[in-house]
Amino acid sequence: MRRAINSFIKSLIKIAVRLGFTWPLVFIYTKVIKEVSPLVKCDKGNNKKNTILALNPDRFRDDLEILADEFRVLRMPFYWQCKILCLYWPENLFKKISISRYCVPSGERSLKKIQEGLRSFLRMFLKDLYKRLSIDCVIGAAVYYKQDYDWGLVSDEVGVPYIVIHREGLCAAKKTKEEVIDKVSAIKAFKGSHIIVQNQIMKDLLIQSNIVNSNRVSASGCLRMDDFVNRIRDFKKKSKKRKKVVLFSFLYGIGSFIIPSNFNSHDEGFVGLFEHVHVSIARLAMENKEVDFIIKPKWGGQWLQTIEYHLNNNNIDSKSIKNLQIITDINPHDLILEADVVCAFSSTTLLEAAITGIPVIVPYYDEALNPEYSDYVLLKDDFDIFDVAHNIEEFEELIIERLKKVDIPPGCMERRREVFEKYVSTLEGNAKEKYIELINRVIEG
């Protein structure tokens, strides 16, 4: 009964929009789409600001708040975006079909019919929605998101440029580069107006994939790094009674080697490395009560449960260790600037910590040495700028040694800055200015 009612409502909405009766749906979406508050509060009026609509907004981290300093930025809730897609997409289409099949549905009449219906609907609906909200451009967070593909394509068709601010940019391993080309090539051709990436490596990979020419892709740095690199210039480490070691936790997998749901299986991926690194940090905390140890996962839930799973298997109760904290909701840059030693594996945080001049330790043992995993290890060609531990004992010894003595030669610091700019962002702290100029230029046509 419920399914029949839902089917009837969907048919009613589609018929209404097809007949040009869009205002009820547009009215609803003007209520669920919310404006993003800027990071910097100012008295500037919004009247002359261009308006950006962000799809899949949770994928952007702090980028939307940074852009909201200069643009009027609106969030399209992912749930409500899916409500529109589900008017035409059958159940489980998102999981069942690959991006390559969706973008080039040769010979698949049913899929072509779905796309034609959805795009026809979007042309009517989006044209009126954009007019009502004064939308000047739409942004997405990756070129290969199926859920954004038709929305971006139609936006461009109705005269509202679709810009992808491609969030994934650390192509610092052989396999990740190969996978980017394979994954991106699947869409055959980028249907939007412009792509903004963080570095020249990613720009070259997109061009090499033949989805876009050099005129429609720009390497402009990483928005959230501007504040960090500017903080580093004026940063002076305060003397403190207690030293701090920070471990930026990592997933079982990297690139396509990410295990389904990340931690569902303890049988494949960097499982041994994950266990041994986290157990080492906990044991060091128990043995060095005068030092604070922090483990920082990106999110909670299963990630936290997995850390506790491995600690418990080694008879460690994290809650009983007073100088050990496992924290998700804290700014990683604040943690880096407070840290005396940073540990991480295949993460941008390695480079972020490196440019501050503190010791950075990479655990490189267990599965990371296996031939089938080795080509997935990020930044392996730049290990000379870090302290690299080749076993559990060396990892623990290096942490204690670096707490006692910091010795980063000038030549190493110069290399650290070069590698940071190569993979992450400019050290001039002007990525934001580049994004603003570029987005405005695309809008103006």
Per-residue 3-state assignment (H helix, E strand, C coil) for 372-415: HHHCCCCCHHHHHHCEEECCHHHHHHHHHHHHHCCCCCHHHHHH
What is the per-residue pLDDT for 47? 58
Phi, psi of 94 (to 5 degrees): -60, -40
C-beta atoms surrounding 192 within 10 Å: 23
Residues near 97 by Cβ (< 8 Å), separated by ≥ 6? Answer: 111, 146
Do 148 and 283 have their domain in common? Answer: no
Rg (CA), the chain: 24
184 in the same domain as 140: yes
Q: Are residues 416 and 355 in the same domain?
A: yes
pLDDT for res 256: 52
> Are 201 and 184 found together in one domain?
yes
CATH classification of the domain holding 405 = 3.40.50.2000
The Cα 72–Cα 237 span in angstroms is 37
- Spell out the alpha helix ranges (H) of 268-391: 271-287, 302-313, 332-338, 348-354, 371-374
For the chain, the domain total comes to 2
- Same domain flag for 267 and 175: no
Q: What pairs with residue 165 in β-bridges?
A: 196
- pLDDT tens digits, one per residue of 137-190: 999 999 999 999 999 999 999 999 999 999 876 888 888 888 888 888 988 899
CB atoms within 10 A of CB 221: 27
Per residue in 32-85, pLDDT tens? 999 999 877 665 554 579 999 999 999 998 899 999 999 999 999 999 999 999
- Residue-number span of the structural domain to which 436 is assigned: 2-222+429-444
Does one domain contain both 326 and 416?
yes
Please write down the long-range contacts of 312-320, taking CB distance under 8 Å and 24 or more positions apart: 313/275, 314/275, 314/279, 314/282, 316/279, 316/282, 316/283, 316/286, 318/282
Indicate whether 276 and 355 sit together in one domain.
yes
> Are 238 and 218 in a shared domain?
no
Q: Give the range among 12-26, 87-101, 113-127 with minimum mean pLDDT.
A: 87-101
Residues 319 and 242 in one domain: yes
pTM given for the model: 0.89
Neighbours of 231 (CB within 10 A): 15
Mark whether 59 and 106 lie in a shared domain.
yes
Give yes or no for a contact between 343 and 246, defined as CB atoms under 8 angstroms apart: yes
The amino acid occupying position 77 is: P
Claim to verify: residue 88 and residue 141 sit in the same structural domain: yes
Give the pLDDT mean for 287-302.
Answer: 96
pLDDT on residue 42: 60
